[in-house]
Amino acid sequence: MARGLFASLSRLRARTGAGIAAAAAVLVFSAAPALADDVFPGPITADPGAVVPFYRTAVGSLAAGHVSPVAVAQADMHRPAEGKLYAPLTTLTPTSGFGYRVSPLNGQPGEFHWGQDFAAPCGTPVYAADSGVVRAAGWHPWGGGNRVEIDHGDGLVTTYNHMLGAAVKTGESVEVGQVIGLVGETGSAIGCHLHFETIKDGKYVDPESFSFIPISQQGPLGPVQVTDYTPKDGKSTNERQDWAIPVLTSEPAPGESIAPAPTAPTPPPLKDPTPAGPPAAPPSTVAVPPRAAGSAPSTASPTPSPVPSRTPTPTSGPTPTTAPTTPPATPSPTPPATPSPAPSATATPTPTAATPTSAPAMTATAVPTCTSTAAPTPTPSPTPTATAPTPC
């Protein structure tokens, strides 16, 4: 029995000694870091170009010195999950898609379209599809007009083109759903629309491969301050930017059911014509009130053009009214010749135009003949003279 008691005490003493030794080692390494260099000689180094992959950090921030309120669609928006993006517009009306198409500029087939177009009225707010950092903002030298590129991390970049102006600047952090510009038609564009691009791992991919989460403007949105980088007098208004260069997407992986598209042309080497250094001319920054989502496009500009063309002509009409006072209104003897051509009588009664003014059909018959405008000029009323010069 004494022998068993002695063995138990020996085991207890060994365990206690091991615990004390481990605690002492911890104290020694924490109190004397110099001793750790003997165990781990030299600092731990890494390749300066090493990249740690991550997917969509949930941490958001604002650029240093940002004091103005950020215009967002709604507060407390979470970042989209993998394979999803928030819609860049409140209403998506897709038009020209990703891939080959007939060029709308010259009508030639075989143009490769690197993004997805969404029709929208000029002045419609454009929202960031995800949080990130603005990698480039300014005038795109290859047709994008006022363009913004946002780096969202994990190799994903989105671009927004042809805008009226950019509401963010290069290096600025943006939140998901933040207003980054307004729809326009700058650059190589025909009509108001947004050209939206998605770049994954340096290669352009079809934006329709992402699922778009609908977005809506919850609170009132005041005037959006945008900067228009359109060149002035041939001089650039922004510094040279690190724009993304189009690269064709990779071929489908083995086993995929996607049929490969026709071979896309190799993009030619692009040279940025923007001179290096500070801008040659300052850009214009204005506050533009955003257009409502359901409002019609700004097509009112063409309609005023016919109106002014008609309004000056009546002004020329009153001037002949003074002339008819000098010649007597007795040219009514000319109507006697009218009985033979009964149809032309409809044109000649215009001298008594006080009553025919109510009948536009008569003036319409007199309008086509430009010679009739020269003859009736002494006697006609202002209304026929207003209509007659326009067709001529």
pLDDT by residue (tens digit) across 144-201?
Answer: 999 999 999 999 999 999 999 999 999 999 999 999 999 999 999 989 999 999 999 9
Q: Is 310 a residue whose pLDDT tops 60?
A: no
Query: pLDDT at position 299, please?
Result: 38
Count of CA atoms in the C-beta half-sphere (13 A) of 24: 6
Quote the CA–CA distance of 261 and 256 in Å, as a whole number.
13
Query: pLDDT at position 280, please?
Result: 80
Q: Is 249 a residue whose pLDDT tops 60?
A: no
Read off the tokens for 92.
Answer: 């998506």
49-100 pLDDT, tens digit per residue, is 665 555 554 444 444 444 445 688 888 789 999 999 999 999 999 999 999 9
Q: Is 269 a residue whose pLDDT tops 80?
A: no
Q: What percent of the chain has pLDDT over 70?
A: 54
Count of CA atoms in the C-beta half-sphere (13 A) of 213: 17
Q: What is 189-229 written as a DSSP string?
A: -SSSEEEEEEEETTEEE-GGGSEEEP----S----EEEEE-
Quote the CA–CA distance of 212 and 79 in Å, as a whole number.
12
232-246 pLDDT, tens digit per residue, is 988 999 998 999 987
Judge residue 26's burial from the number of C-beta atoms within 10 Å of its C-beta, 0-12 exposed, 13-18 middle, 19 or more buried.
exposed
The pTM of this model reads 0.56
Least confident of 35-39, 84-88, 221-225, 353-357: 353-357
- Cβ atoms of 385 and 370 within 8 Å: the answer is no
CATH of 84-251+262-288, one of 3.40.50.720, 3.30.420.40, 2.70.70.10, 1.20.1440.60: 2.70.70.10
Higher pLDDT, 192 or 391: 192
| Sequence-distant (≥ 6) Cβ neighbours of residue 279 within 8 angstroms | 235, 236, 237, 238, 239
Quote the CA–CA distance of 219 and 276 in Å, as a whole number.
41
Quote the CA–CA distance of 293 and 279 in Å, as a whole number.
34
Start-end of CATH 2.70.70.10 domains in the chain: 84-251+262-288
Least confident of 38-42, 276-280, 356-360: 356-360
Quote the CA–CA distance of 367 and 135 in Å, as a whole number.
61
Block residue for tokens 């001793």 = 35
104-141 pLDDT, tens digit per residue, is 888 888 889 999 999 999 999 999 999 999 999 999 99
Q: What is 18-78 written as a DSSP string?
A: HHHHHHHHHHHHHH-HHHHHHHS-S-----TT--------S-----TT--SPP-BSSSSPP
Read off the tokens for 49.
Answer: 């170009």
DSSP 371: H
